[in-house]
Amino acid sequence: MKTITHKIARILFVFLFISSIFTSCEKEKDTIGIVKVVNSNGNTVQGATVVLNQLNTIPGTDPIDKLRQTAKTDANGKVEFEYTYEAILNIEVDYTNGNDSYTGSGVIRLLRGKIISETVEIN
């Protein structure tokens, strides 16, 4: 009787050990925000500066590390930002072409583990 109980206990232990290995190694999905910049004609804009930041945050006092991020749009007018946490962020876009300056703004709500896209029109 003890032998059967020990065999069952060993089998259960091995099963629990193996199942814990496979479930604990699962990487959490990234929280990604994609901003697409277009002009008033709907054409994508390459080289626009996009800043994501929390509303009314004083530079250097971000409550979350790397909350404020800046990047330039690619040839498709898109820029991608990666975050760890959920956030609601302001989008500020600046673009200069010769002597002409264009700006745009918006808001993006990032959801943990999701890819969220937002389009901003510059004028």
Which class in CATH covers the domain with range 31-121?
mainly beta
Distance CA(7)–CA(3), nearest Å, equals: 6
Helix (H, G, I), strand (E, B) or coil at 8: helix
- Above 90 in pLDDT, residue 41? yes
Query: Who has greater pLDDT, 79 or 64?
Result: 79
- Above 80 in pLDDT, residue 37? yes
Task: Provide the residue ranges of all domains of the chain, joining segments of one domain with +.
Answer: 31-121
**Could you tell me the pTM of the whole model?**
0.75
32: closest CA among 52, 60, 47, 58?
Answer: 52
What average pLDDT does range 22-40 have in this prediction? Answer: 83
Q: In the block, which residue shows the tokens 């009314």? A: 56
Kindly compute the dihedral angle of the four CA atoms of residues 48, 35, 79, 91, in this order, to the nearest 10 degrees.
60
Predicted confidence (pLDDT) per residue in 52-67, tens digit: 998 665 555 555 667 8
